[in-house]
Amino acid sequence: MIDMANKRNSKDTIYNHYLIMSDEQILIDNTINDIEKTLRVDESFDFETCSIQEYEYPDIINKIFTSPFVSTKRILVLKNIEKKKLNELQEFAKLLKTVPESCCLIMVYYADKKLSRKKVFEDFKKVSEIFSNAHPVTLMPDDTTVYRWIMKKVEGLGLKDRHEIIDYLMEEFSDDITGMKNEIQKIENYLYQTRQMGLSELKDISQGLTDYDIYNIANNFFQRKTEALNQFIRIQPYMRSPMVLIDALARVLCNYAKKSKDEKIIQHITSELSRIDNCVKTGSDFVELNLEIFFIKNLGGISKGAIYGK
């Protein structure tokens, strides 16, 4: 995997024309950010992103030759190169004979994860040959690179026993860096909320915390599943705010209300949620207690048949 960050100080690594290929959007974004920071481009005036599918080729050429407004260079990110056929790209390459010094053109080829790496590299090689003047950047991480990255991230969490988390992340996300980043962020959020976490809680995290899906809880509530109450009790320590669950309940309520013929039930639940919502806004210390009472009271009063209007 090419690491642009390690070469930031070397001027010969900044080119006027890049062709970036990866199956991980986060790696593409990080590389573009590295180039942007190195060139010190003003994002408000001299940074533009567009799709090769949305514009005629002459219009794209005009964008490439547009002079920067306040920066030394202007960055143009041209996405969806992979969506074009090779003969279409050849037509564009004939028009794009050169990229001016005032522009840094970054063409992005997003590889399909469903394709084999062999197929992806073969296709990218063909595109690279068409745009032979572009500097090719391939961002396809190997297991060793991924493991080192996980180690660095998990060490920053301050966990004493981190081997289970590392093994889990490697097993589940070694080919999905974006998903791994989101999972680590989720763990960081839980650690921040709970301040300290035991091994049993960490094991819950390593299993993906499927029971902690707030929309799963909301759906279970309206389907009169008693497990919704247990799920709510378990999720309480990890919620950054009760409003997260209240919002999920309100959204699911809207969907069920469209199907229900019992207006009294819908009005009752709406009134209850509004009351709890007001508790949050007024800074009440009993929001969690009111939510728990809400679950206990109403799980016995809503039947799946009634809510579906049957």
Check whether residue 148 and residue 189 sit in a common domain: yes
* Domain extent at residue 229: 211-307
Contact criterion met (CB below 8 Å) for 137 and 19: yes
Out of 82, 114, 139, a domain closes at 139
Check whether residue 57 and residue 111 sit in a common domain: yes
Out of 206, 221, 247, a domain closes at 206
Check whether residue 45 and residue 109 sit in a common domain: yes
Q: What is the pLDDT of residue 243?
A: 78
Q: What is the pLDDT of residue 155?
A: 73
Check whether residue 32 and residue 130 sit in a common domain: yes
Single pTM value for the model: 0.54
Check whether residue 201 and residue 234 sit in a common domain: no
Check whether residue 184 and residue 219 sit in a common domain: no
Check whether residue 275 and residue 303 sit in a common domain: yes
Q: How distant, in Å, are the alpha carbons of 40, 41, 64, 73 from that of 70?
A: 11, 8, 16, 9
> How many domains, in total, are found in the chain?
3
Check whether residue 281 and residue 294 sit in a common domain: yes
Q: What is the pLDDT of residue 192?
A: 58
Check whether residue 227 and residue 298 sit in a common domain: yes
Check whether residue 293 and residue 193 sit in a common domain: no
Q: What is the pLDDT of residue 170?
A: 76
Check whether residue 185 and residue 241 sit in a common domain: no
- pLDDT, one tens digit per residue, over 247-289 is 888 888 887 777 766 777 788 888 888 888 877 767 676 777 8
pLDDT tens, the chain, 310 aa long: 344 333 434 445 789 999 999 888 888 988 999 999 999 999 899 999 999 999 999 999 999 999 999 999 999 999 999 999 999 999 999 999 899 999 999 999 998 888 888 898 899 999 999 999 999 999 877 777 777 777 777 776 666 556 777 777 777 776 777 777 777 776 666 555 544 444 455 555 545 444 456 778 888 888 878 778 877 777 776 666 777 788 888 888 887 777 766 777 788 888 888 888 877 767 676 777 888 888 888 775 444 433 433 3
What angle (nearest 5°) sits at the alpha carbon of residue 181, between those of residues 177 and 186? 145
**How, if at all, do strands 135-139 and 47-51 pair?**
unpaired
Out of 139, 161, 182, a domain closes at 139
Check whether residue 15 and residue 118 sit in a common domain: yes
Q: What is the pLDDT of residue 105?
A: 97
**How, if at all, do strands 47-51 and 74-79 pair?**
parallel
